Amino acid sequence: MRVAMIGTGYVGLVSGACFSEFGLDVICVDKDENKIASIKKGVMPIYEPGLDDLVENNIKAGRLGFTTDLASAVKDAKAVFIAVGTPTRRGGGHADLSYVYAAAEEIADAMDGYTVVVTKSTVPVGTGDEVERIIRKRRPDADFDVVSNPEFLREGSAISDFTHPDRVVIGTESARAKEVMRELYRPLSLIEAPIVFTSRVSSELIKYAANTFLATKITFINEIADLCEKVDADVHDVARGIGLDGRIGKKFLHAGPGYGGSCFPKDTMALVHTARDVGAPLSIVEAVVEVNAKRKASMVDRVTKACGGSLKGKTIAVLGLTFKPNTDDMRDSPSLDIVPAIIAAGATVRAFDPEGMDEAKEMMQGVEWCDETYCTMENADALVIITEWNAFRGLDLERVKKIMNAPVMVDLRNIYEPTEMYEAGFDYYCIGRARIEPKNK
Ligand SMILES: NC(=O)c1ccc[n+]([C@@H]2O[C@H](COP(=O)([O-])OP(=O)(O)OC[C@H]3O[C@@H](n4cnc5c(N)ncnc54)[C@H](O)[C@@H]3O)[C@@H](O)[C@H]2O)c1
């Protein structure tokens, strides 16, 4: 079966490459000529472990191609995926659906024969109806179905998430479309991945409900962490103690600086607006959005406290800028709140991230960019860990102490143990765990 993937970003590129690995003929389309040219040369536009090999192998096998010509890709395709961006609309929290609708118009003009148009982008309830209306209006003669098939992959483990999903959600009531979708995902039946068939609106809502639930779980443990600090409890133990309860589950219970990334912030906002628009406001999600924003903004206070109450004239080393490890994605990363706030408080920031530097340089000003981990700490008065890259988990603490002005660490991801840091002679600040005053303080 031939598949066209419209939009070759994180989701389109990974999904397209994985479908070709399943044995399907896939053409990925993007408007961005540079992106397509660079992929054709073997240079991936994003950092995602394993992606370059997957793309290269499937191009060689003749199953995966890239183009800027949407019409030629769509013409012979049985399934056309819309995987374009749905960012937050300017001046409000609604999702901006202009890319989705523009893609729908272009698809309408190009399709030939029965076509299943699949929305993989995260879109609010009712978007599928609008896509169908747009296509029908432009092509009253067309034979097509519009299906919702939200994507749940996580950046950093996108390939295994796509090929070993917890579930695949498919929203359609058309028997013909169901058959096409079944065929697309047939390889997953070998690993018995559950496929949830549902209505289009339920499928659209499942994606938002999943993301807002996870954002709520993170925000919950973040507030519990603050409470732990007040009562000398340990958030690691609390998270483990509740996470072992099968009804709660262990994942997404890591306290930190607040959620960020390309999905949770915009999806929580979009669902809040959808719910308000239809008169069924989601008070819990509204509180989550507010608490998370305050949390990100308050992280600078922890750095200030670690520096004795003022950041004026201090040098702060920052390790990790992306919203999570194993990605170069900086969208809505907590670092975008924390770093500018440290600079605004009068400090110099020296920063390093293994993959996110190019994007970070475009989004932050006034930072001294460093090429590697240890040089970042030269003469620093405090070291702040914002992203838990593996490379930062096993720092040579003796070396760190020698390089820095003072052995002060603010670990916003709890990657070190308070007792270990105490023994190593650090003034160590983390999240939601009892602080041990250093011997020499
Ligand atoms: N990034 C994630 O981890 C993730 C996970 C699940 C779902 N999603 C959802 O998937 C969607 C895509 O997200 P992303 O992170 O891949 O976005 P992205 O911004 O990385 O990529 C979107 C791509 O679409 C291209 N594009 C836009 N209009 C086009 C058109 N008419 N024709 C061809 N190309 C076009 C853009 O040039 C861009 O390269 C969003 O709705 C997002 O919420 C993202």
List pLDDT tens digits, range 86-127: 998 877 789 999 999 999 999 999 999 999 999 999 999 999
Percent of the chain's residues with pLDDT above 90: 96
CA-proximal residue: ligand 1, atom 35 (nearest):
7
CA-proximal residue: ligand 1, atom 25 (nearest):
7
Ligand 1 mean position, distance from CA 399 (Å): 42
Of 197, 110, 149, which Cα lies nearest the Cα of 15?
149
User: What integer best gives the mean pLDDT of the chain?
Assistant: 96
How far, CA to CA in Å, does 32 sit from each of 6, 58, 146, 404?
11, 21, 25, 44
> Which residues are annotated as catalytic?
263
DSSP 203: H
The residue count of the chain comes to 441
User: What confidence category does residue 440 fall into, taking pLDDT thresholds of 50, 70 and 90?
Assistant: low
Q: pLDDT of 249-304, one tens digit each?
A: 999 999 999 999 999 999 999 999 999 999 999 999 999 999 999 999 999 999 99
Q: Residue 338: beta bridge partners?
A: none
CA-proximal residue: ligand 1, atom 7 (nearest):
151
CA dihedral 285, 291, 293, 294 (to 10 degrees): 170
Q: What is the rounded average pLDDT of the residues 379-391?
A: 97
Sign of CA dihedral 86, 87, 92, 98: negative
Is the beta carbon of 29 within 6 A of some atom in ligand 1? Answer: yes
The amino acid occupying position 6 is I
Q: What is the rounded average pLDDT of the residues 152-165?
A: 96
CA-proximal residue: ligand 1, atom 31 (nearest):
103
DSSP 117: E
CA atoms of 380 and 402, how far apart (whole Å): 11
The answer on pLDDT for 435 being more than 80 is: yes
Instruction: Assess contact for 326 and 10: CB atoms under 8 A.
Output: no
DSSP 205: H
Is the beta carbon of 80 within 6 A of some atom in ligand 1? Answer: no
Ligand 1 mean position, distance from CA 59 (Å): 21
Ligand 1 mean position, distance from CA 120 (Å): 9
Is the beta carbon of 354 within 6 A of some atom in ligand 1? Answer: no
Q: pLDDT of 402-412, one tens digit each?
A: 999 999 999 99
pLDDT for position 25: 98
Mutation test residue for ligand 1: of 10, 34, 121, 206, the one with most atoms within 8 Å of CB: 10
pLDDT for position 439: 73
CA atoms of 121 and 87, how far apart (whole Å): 10
pLDDT for position 213: 98
Is the beta carbon of 144 within 6 A of some atom in ligand 1? Answer: no
Residue 106 alpha carbon, nearest atom of ligand 1: 31
Ligand 1 mean position, distance from CA 122 (Å): 9
396: helix, coil or strand?
coil
The answer on pLDDT for 145 being more than 80 is: yes
User: What confidence category does residue 436 fall into, taking pLDDT thresholds of 50, 70 and 90?
Assistant: confident
The amino acid occupying position 246 is G
Mutation test residue for ligand 1: of 66, 82, 84, the one with most atoms within 8 Å of CB: 84
Q: pLDDT of 170-209, one tens digit each?
A: 999 999 999 999 999 999 988 999 999 999 999 999 999 9
CA-proximal residue: ligand 1, atom 33 (nearest):
30
Q: What is the rounded average pLDDT of the residues 42-48?
A: 94
pLDDT for position 93: 85
User: What confidence category does residue 129 fall into, taking pLDDT thresholds of 50, 70 and 90?
Assistant: very high
Ligand 1 mean position, distance from CA 236 (Å): 35
CA atoms of 367 and 376, how far apart (whole Å): 11
Is the beta carbon of 165 within 6 A of some atom in ligand 1? Answer: no
The answer on pLDDT for 158 being more than 90 is: yes
pLDDT for position 441: 61
Q: pLDDT of 320-347, one tens digit each?
A: 999 999 999 999 999 999 999 999 999 9
The answer on pLDDT for 438 being more than 90 is: no
pLDDT for position 91: 75
